[in-house]
Amino acid sequence: MQLQTIRPNIVQAIRAYRVDDLMKAAESAGQHFLYVNLAEAQTKQDVLDAIALAFLFPPHFGKNLDALFDCMTDLVHKAGQQPGFVVVLEQLPDNPRFDREAREQLLEVFRDAAEFWGDRRIPFRCFYSFQ
């Protein structure tokens, strides 16, 4: 699999892609691969906690959507030149405690991050699946 065949700044359902293939493609392209399995998450707080742990966010992470955006953009941007990102959010919750609105708000943060990195000509591809 070649990342060049996937739009560079996109948030989309994982559908036809396999996590292992995305990881290998990111590695061969020299890009960051960020993966989190959210199968155990039930609430927005669970999701944010799991993402923070998996993506190695700093201890001062505010555990809200604004802080998530800041960690996905500003903190990383200040760290220097970036080669690109492949992000996988596997098994997003689908329950009354993390409903469609909550999922859309979360995915909107990743869409905003894709736009942020796109403005800097840095690929940011995010893939997600639901439980």
Q: In what order do the strands lie in the sheet with 9-13?
A: 9-13, 124-130, 85-92, 32-37
* pLDDT class of 19 with cuts at 50, 70, 90: very high
Averaged pLDDT score across all residues of the chain: 93
- The CA distance from 11 to 123, in Å, is 11
Return the CATH class of domain 6-130: alpha beta
Mean pLDDT for 18-25 is 96
CB-based contact 113:84 (threshold 8 Å): no
Supply angle C-alpha 11, 84, 51, rounded to 5: 60
Q: Given a cut of 90, is residue 102 above it in pLDDT?
A: yes
Q: For residue range 56-100, list pLDDT tens digits in order.
A: 998 888 889 999 999 999 866 667 788 999 999 999 999 999 999
For the chain, domain boundaries: 6-130
